[in-house]
């Protein structure tokens, strides 16, 4: 079974631009979560989507948004990019949204904002 | 505020010895804990988990211990192998909610 895939793997943008990242979950998984990883901060939760509905949201500004499609694929959008948005963005999928459903991570998208 | 803390950014261990990675948490509502391993240029890989109703879970060379009264968990790797060299993240969740991650500990196993 194929793992979680993320595209693109690397992105370079300038301040003020917007960016869209894509995540394809493991086949059959209905939940997709997004995380931001920066040095010294670990992984910070952005949001989780389940059956096309956002079920949980972390403490990030409204410039960060996402959506999920009927095939469970998810996109994350960041508008008006700031230098501090440079990070590794990881998505993770799980079968349902139960407590002990293990989250499986993709390789991430490395975003650099200049 | 960091609800899950890994206070040791790095750890070096000789091959064959035990590696002990530690993690502390502050939220008493956390009831499920996990360890992930991360190699460079890859996403985190699930390693082992433990529910709050247990105090120990073992999977091969990996054992996770949970001390709820101290709000502390640890991962033991015995024996350590060079291929175990990676960054290890502990994570916790409360109910079916999102995971809170620590900042990671870089383990280096010296051959």
**What's the pLDDT at A96?**
81
Cβ-based contacts of A54 with chain B (< 8 Å): none
pLDDT in tens, B27-83: 999 999 999 999 988 899 999 999 999 999 999 999 999 999 999 999 999 999 999
What pLDDT shows up at residue A78?
Answer: 97
pLDDT at A102: 85
Interface check A42 vs B, CB under 8 A: yes
Contacts of B104 in chain A (CB under 8 A): 42
B96, B99, B104, B105: best mutation site toward chain A, by most A Cβ within 10 Å?
A: B96
Would you state the pLDDT for residue A40?
A: 73
> Per residue in A22-79, pLDDT tens?
999 999 999 999 999 987 778 999 999 999 999 989 999 999 999 999 999 999 999 9
Choice among A2-16, A35-49, A92-106 with the minimum mean pLDDT: A92-106
Whole-angstrom Cα distance, residue A33 to residue A28? 15
Give the residue from chain A lying closest to B34, CA to CA: A102
CA distance B62 to B78: 7
**Whole-number Å distance between alpha carbons of B16 and B75:** 16
Cα(B25)–Cα(B73) distance, rounded to whole angstroms? 8
**CB-CB neighbors (< 8 A) of A45 in chain B:** 98-100
């Amino acid at each position: 079974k194929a793992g979680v895939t993320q595209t693109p793997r690397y992105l370079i943008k300038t301040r003020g631009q917007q960016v869209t990242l894509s995540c394809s979950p493991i086949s059959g998984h209905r939940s997709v979560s997004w995380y931001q990883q920066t040095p010294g901060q670990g992984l910070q939760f952005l949001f989780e989507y389940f059956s096309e509905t956002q079920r949980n949201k972390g403490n990030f500004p409204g410039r960060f948004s996402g959506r999920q499609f009927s095939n469970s694929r998810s996109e994350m959008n960041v508008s008006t990019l700031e230098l501090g948005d440079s990070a590794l963005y990881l998505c993770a999928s799980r079968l349902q949204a139960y407590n002990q459903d293990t989250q499986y991570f993709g390789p991430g998208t490395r975003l650099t904002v200049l | 505020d960091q609800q899950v803390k890994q206070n040791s950014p790095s750890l070096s261990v000789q091959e064959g010895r035990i590696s002990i990675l530690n993690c502390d948490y502050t939220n008493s509502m956390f009831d499920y804990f996990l360890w992930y391993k991360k190699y460079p240029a890859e996403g985190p890989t699930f390693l082992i988990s433990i529910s709050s109703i247990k105090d120990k879970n073992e999977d091969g060379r990996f054992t996770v211990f949970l001390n709820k009264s101290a709000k502390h968990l640890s991962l033991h790797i015995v024996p350590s192998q060079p291929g175990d060299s990676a960054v290890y993240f502990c994570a916790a969740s409360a109910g079916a909610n999102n995971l809170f991650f620590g900042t990671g500990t870089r383990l280096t196993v010296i051959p």
